[in-house]
Amino acid sequence: MSLTAALRGFVVVLCWFAGIHSQTWGVEYASKHICAFEGSTVEISCTYTYPPWISYKKTVVQREFWYAKLKDKNPLDLREDPDYAGRVTYRCSEQSCSLRISGLRLNDFAEYRFKFETNQPDGSFTGKPGVSLTVTDLQVLSQRKRECLRDPCALFELTCHSRCVLPHSSYVWYKNGEITTAGSQQKYSDWFYTADSVSCAVRGHESFHSPAVYAPKSVSVSMSLTEIMEGSSVTLTCSCDANPADKFRWYKNNQPLLLEDPRLILRSVQRSDSGKFHCVAENELGEAASDYVFINVEYPPETSSVSVSPSAEVLEGSSVTLTCSSDANPAAKYTWFKDNRPLLSEDKVHFSSIRSEHSGNYSCKSENKHGQSSSTPLLLDVQYPPRIPSVSVFGKILKGSSVTLTCSSDANPAANFSWYKKDEDSPKASGTNWTISDFRAEHSGFYYCEAENRRGSLNSSLQLIETETGSWKSAATAKTTFAVLLFVFIPAFLWIRKNRRVTEQQEKRPANRTQLNTSPDINSPSAETEAAEEQLELHYSSTHLSENQEECLYSNIRRNPKPRQRPEDNSVE
């Protein structure tokens, strides 16, 4: 008779009663098949027989043991097998022996055989076939039947499953760790929310209940790298607390990826792989999503460029912004250059009121910890209307000569020039230079030039142009007339006046000359004459001739260096 049992603390002894006085070799097992729960203790028993005498030699059993690794030529005693260390004990006496294994494991599933050895030649014997041991655990299998209308829940049919057939067994069901009274059968139906858990056990062996099953929770994603450079390889791993955890789904930027695996491997990462990733763990009882993880692919600056705003033509006085941009991660730092000279370290250069001196070639350098890049120079061309034009005359302005007038003005774009004569509406000529090849008297007058570009126009000041010959003759005639008056008529007039004064003084000379000299009468004719004479001398001293028109006829006229001492001196110098 055989019995089957399972669980810690419950030992099943399998016995076989047979005659011990048999004259043949043999091993008989109490049961050929045994099923036990994981973690329990099982006992396998047998009896064996052998001839007591062979050729008048008494048979003596020298060794008896159990083994499980059948492929070995020299079977290893389970007591010496490291896989069973500390879990195996024998109990052998009077041609019977039992094997006791505690703390059963799922990999203890095997066929166990008993062997004994005697002192007789070829006196060893093994009981074949042995005992087949199955180690099982309890599992809850679920099947979704119906969804809740509002709440995240569902109706499930649950089955308490094992590898062994346990007839006439009663079951205990646990919901969230508490025994439920909903049923005692192998199958059980109930409504479950995603936070609920359920397990089962065989009644009488509640300590060996099944693992609880529940929907996934605590879902997370881990990355193999913290700093991801372009071209490197990175692995994302999705993990969760769930039983069972059947499959995973991956998402990038909330878009599903065609992958159902707990690991997502990105080989030779490109910058386009940057984004936010998360996974969803799912089983029959529900699903849960992880938080986002960000893949930030780093790379050195590339394609640095300079842009100007507004992008139209730059006008003097307008507001202009230069912007440096580049494709870089992490973000680049910028350095500006004007005509290859460093300016400042900012991503933008702003001119609130741009001026012409701001024109030039602008470039920028982008730099981060992985490298740098320089932009192509951008020409900033500030446009403005013409400045005040200036007129220059080249050549002597003589009758019949050739005269060239030149007009110049600072302008951007370059100005066009037109020549005008005062009080005339039609231009005389156009261009920077205007040449009058045969200058005549009717060409004399006031002239000006007009500088014009698409930003505005401006006129120069009036320029008097006349022949040098006519001007010189007029000046010579005036000087000749003045010289005649000064050196002919005035000396004659002074000589007459002076003779008259001398005559009058002789007629009215006072007795005391000293007194007359020291106290002159300012109202007398003599005093009047002397005053006139001093004014004439002062007039002579202030008369100057043009250096260009000096005539030798009058070159010896000079001021008398010594004042007159006596009024009666009638000499004229």
The CATH number assigned to the domain with range 26-136 reads: 2.60.40.10
Superfamily of the domain at 215-295: Immunoglobulins (2.60.40.10)
- 244 — pLDDT class (breaks 50, 70, 90): confident
Q: What share of the chain is helix, strand, coil (3-state, %, to 5)?
A: 15, 40, 40
Number of H helices, E strands in the chain: 4, 44
Burial class for 142, CB neighbours closer than 10 Å (0-12, 13-18, 19+) = middle
Pick one of 3.90.550.10, 2.60.40.10, 1.10.10.10, 3.40.50.720 as the CATH number of 390-466: 2.60.40.10
Neighbour tally for 546: CB within 10 Å:
11
Burial class for 528, CB neighbours closer than 10 Å (0-12, 13-18, 19+) = middle
Q: What per-residue confidence (pLDDT) applies to 501?
A: 66
CA-wise closest residue to 155 among 163, 165, 147: 147
**Residue 301 identity:** P
Q: What per-residue confidence (pLDDT) applies to 267?
A: 92
Q: What per-residue confidence (pLDDT) applies to 72?
A: 80
DSSP-assigned letter for residue 455: T
The CATH number assigned to the domain with range 301-383 reads: 2.60.40.10
How close are the terminal C-alpha atoms of the chain, in Å? Answer: 182
- Residue located via tokens 């007398």: 524
Backbone angles phi, psi at 32, to 5 degrees: -85, -25
Per-residue pLDDT averaged across 110-128, rounded?
92
Strands (E), 258-296: 263-266, 275-283, 286-289, 293-295
Task: Say what the pTM is.
Answer: 0.52
Contact 422, 462 (CB under 8 A): yes
CA–CA separation, 514 vs 510, rounded Å? 10
* The CATH fold of domain 139-211: Immunoglobulin-like (2.60.40)
- 180 — pLDDT class (breaks 50, 70, 90): confident
Q: Is the pLDDT of residue 453 over 70?
A: yes
Q: What per-residue confidence (pLDDT) applies to 468?
A: 66
CA–CA separation, 524 vs 530, rounded Å? 10
Q: What per-residue confidence (pLDDT) applies to 12?
A: 37
Burial class for 399, CB neighbours closer than 10 Å (0-12, 13-18, 19+) = middle
The domain segmentation of the chain, as residue ranges, is 26-136, 139-211, 215-295, 301-383, 390-466, 480-504+522-573
- Mean pLDDT computed over every residue of the chain: 80
Contact 573, 491 (CB under 8 A): no
Q: Is the pLDDT of residue 474 over 80?
A: no
Q: Is the pLDDT of residue 517 over 50?
A: no
- Give Cα separations from 318 to 309, 310, 352, 367 (angstroms): 11, 10, 7, 31
Per-residue pLDDT averaged across 193-219, rounded?
89
Backbone angles phi, psi at 31, to 5 degrees: -150, 140
DSSP-assigned letter for residue 181: S
**Residue 287 identity:** E
Q: What per-residue confidence (pLDDT) applies to 438?
A: 82
Contact 383, 313 (CB under 8 A): yes
Least confident of 174-188, 225-239, 284-298, 549-563: 549-563
Question: In CATH terms, are 215-295 and 390-466 the same topology?
Answer: yes
Least confident of 178-182, 364-368, 501-505: 501-505
* Length of the chain measured in residues: 573
CA-wise closest residue to 172 among 198, 145, 134: 198
Question: What DSSP assignment string belongs to 135-153?
Answer: EE--EEEEEEEEE-SSSSE
Q: Write the pLDDT tens digit of every residue in 77-117.
A: 999 999 999 999 999 998 999 999 999 999 999 999 999 99
Q: What per-residue confidence (pLDDT) applies to 149?
A: 80
